[in-house]
Structure formats: structure tokens, C-alpha cells
Amino acid sequence: MWSRLLPYRTDDGGRTMRDRRGGGLLAQLRRPPGGRDGRTMLLAQFLDRLGTGVWAAASVLYFTFVSRLDAGQVGLLLGVAAVVGIAGSPLAGQLAQRYSARYLLIWCHLLRIGTMLLLLVCRNYAALLAVMAVTCLAERGAKTLEILFATRATDGQRATYQALARTAMNAGYAVGAGLAAIGLAVGTADAYRALVLANALSFAVTAVLVRRTGEQRAAGPAAPAAPRAAARGASPWRDRGYLRFVLLDVPMSLDDSVLGVGLPLWLITRTEAPHALAPAFLVLNTVLVVVCQLRISHWAEGVRRATAAVTLNGLAMLLACALIAFGTGGGPWSASAALLLAAFLVSGAELMRSVSSWELAVSLAPEESRASYLGAAGMAQSVQKSLGPLLLTGAVLTTGPLGWLALGAGIAGLSVLQRKGCEERLAAMAASRHQVVPTPVALAGSSPRQ
């Protein structure tokens, strides 16, 4: 079925895109878009997320048992850091318009090494706040620079590379969480510190791998000074159409909070399903990403299919929210089945969104100012991670089934607006590219050459 959906486009070597995709996931990981650089960056992303997975699983316990913070202090610490991290994406995008994205990414990893080591010696709460804020700032900046690298290195196969990257990153998170479980089982302060060092080590190896890649230049015939001039002339902050896309991308990304916050809390507080079911949501999501992301990305490759995926994302979220609202009020078996099916639909929405969001963020941006535009687009995920849990806990869960229905209907409605806005902007960009610029001869009244 999936093979019939793949277009027969050819690459520079004359092979069909279907031929390049052949061989399955492992073959694609061995021969990814971008060649050697693409393969090196995929390994770097795997190791980065491995360390991040270790830290994500251990951070709350580290702050509680090593830094001796109470629950309120930990919540404030992580919340403030997440808010500060929102600025990381646009800052990285602006800097990438002027400096090497590759070296900026290396510096982001070096900065994260420094902050992890500082955590081991920080005893003052204000110092911990500053260290975690810088950590989140560097983390969000690194993610934007990774996207920029992939966009430049694999311009013709962005969707395929993005699918492979998500697979590698999810695998890294899973392995990291497993390694963290060993330290958490030991449960001593030294074991927690060892997990922090493991995170720092992953960033060090990642920086070395990034150093081995080649510098990726923006495509196009622009002169060397063009990026600097473009950064002054074409700013995403003055582009209302692009800002509208970024703003609507925030609710489109709420699948992350629904899966990680909404479903587990709803299970515990409003259903008779066993609490042990909660980890299954993330396990199911990880399996679906590994199994299906590459195929979904192939299907949704290109701007036309990416815009169609936007509304499919909204539809999947509407169905998932309706199922949560109406299907979880029975006994433990029926509630468990409804929640697992809802998690499946939310994961499907995430697969669609991950393809469409990146493809459209790149396609809707002017090529000469792509770095700063992608930096602005990266804010959507940062804002969602900061505000999404608050929306779920403060509005949706407190209003019960009605809150879930409102959430699903809102996302579905906004997805229609997002698709319409993207189609209009893409049409305007296509018309602008094909507009005939009169030559001096034509202006003088001569007929153009036939």
C-alpha cells in the first residue's frame, strides 16, 4: 500500500526516490540523505538524546535528594528554565544568519557540558536557576541548529532525513532512560552525580561528531554578503504570514503535552484503569515512531502533502479527545482500551505534525533568510512545552469531558486555518517566483524573444 503512495521522482544519480528508500529502516540509516555528514549527524543526535534521556529520568530526583530542594522549588526551577529556553531557538536562528551553524552547534554542546558540570558544585538556589536556564537555552538553540543543518545538507529529502532523525532520537531517549534506571535503582547521591556526568559525556562526544561534519552552506546563487543583508531586510518578526504559521503551530504541537501529561493524569484521577498502564502510552508512542515515522514521512513528502497532513493531525486529535471524553467512564478494561486507542491516535497526530511542521517551516521561509525564520519557527515547540502542561492541568482536566471536547475541536478548527494560510502563502510565493521581470528592452517597447 505504502509503496503505491511514493512518487517516482529521480535524484541526481538517476535513480528513483523509491529505489533510494528501498531496504528498510536499517538500510536508510546506513545510507541517509546527506551522505557521510547525514550519517554522522544522526549518530550525534542519538547520543545527544541518550544523555538527555538519562537526565530527564533523573533530574527531579537529583534536585530532590542531592540539591535538597522541595517540590515547589523543583517546579519553579524547571518552569523558569523552560520559559528562558524559549529564546534559544530565535537566538540560534539569528546567529546562524551571520556565523557557521556547525560551530554554533558545537558551542551549544560545550555550553551544556559546562552547565552539567556546574550542577555538581552548585549549592545556591539562584545559581541553580541560572545554570538550568542556560542549559535550556543551549538545548533549544541546538535543536534549531540541527534542523538548519538537516535543511541545508538534505534539501531534496528533508522528510526522509527528519524521519530517520526522529527514529534515532527516540531510540536515544529510550536507551538513556534505561541507563538512568540503573542509577536510580542504586539510589545514592554518587549514583545521581554519575548520571549527570554521563549526560555531560554524551554532549562531549556529540560535539566531537559535529566537528567531523562539513560546513553546510545555504543553497542558491546568493553572494557571500547576502545572508547578512537578508538578515536585516527579511525578518520573521515583520512577516505576519510566517508569524501566523508559528502561532498556529503551537496548538498543533499539543500532542506532546496530551501524551505526557494529559493522558496519565486523566487515567489516575478520572478512570478505573490500572495506574501501571501510564508508562504504556510513551512505550506505544516510541514503537509507532520507530515503525511508522519513515513511511509517514515518505507519504507526506513535499509541501502539497505536508499541508494535507496538517488537517489529518487536527482530525486525529479531535477523535482522540472525543474518545477520552466519552470512552473512559466504564470499568478498568474498557477505560484501558479507550486510553490506549487515544494514545494511538495522539501518536498518529504527532507523526503527521512532525512531518508537516518541519516541511512547512522550511518551505514558507525565504531561502536567503531561512536560518532566522527557522529560529522563529522553533519557538512553537518551546512555547508548547511551557504552556501545554498548564493548559492541560488548569483548563482541560478541571472541566472534564467538556474540556477534552473543546481541546479537540479547537485543534481541528485551527488546523483548517493553518492549512488554508499555508496554501495561500505557498501560492503567493510560487506566483512571485514565476513573475516575469521586464528587461530594459521590453520596457522600451520591444517584443520579448519567443
| Whole-angstrom distance, CA of residue 339 vs CA of residue 356 | 26
Strand, coil or helix: 114: helix
Give the three-state DSSP class for 420: helix
Nearest in space to 307 (alpha carbons), one of 448, 146, 429, 210:
429
Q: How far apart are CA 256 and CA 389, in angstroms?
A: 9
- Per-residue pLDDT reduced to its tens digit, 131-166: 999 999 999 999 999 888 877 777 667 777 888 888
Average pLDDT, the chain: 83
Confidence of residue 216 (pLDDT cuts 50, 70, 90): low
Q: How far apart are CA 427 and CA 281, in angstroms?
A: 39
Query: Could you read off the pLDDT of 325-349 as tens digits, one per residue?
Result: 999 888 999 999 999 999 999 999 9
pLDDT single digits (tens) 251-284: 999 999 999 889 998 998 899 999 888 878 888 8
Smallest Cα–Cα separation from 351: which of 264, 416, 285? 285
pLDDT at 139: 93
Which cell numbers in the block locate residue 283? Answer: 512505550
E strand or H helix at 135: helix 125-153
Q: What percent of the chain has pLDDT over 70?
A: 86
More confident residue, 432 or 448: 432
Residue 232 scores a pLDDT above 90? no
Give the rounded percent of residues in the chain with a pLDDT score beyond 90: 43
**Mean pLDDT, to the nearest integer, of 311-330?**
94
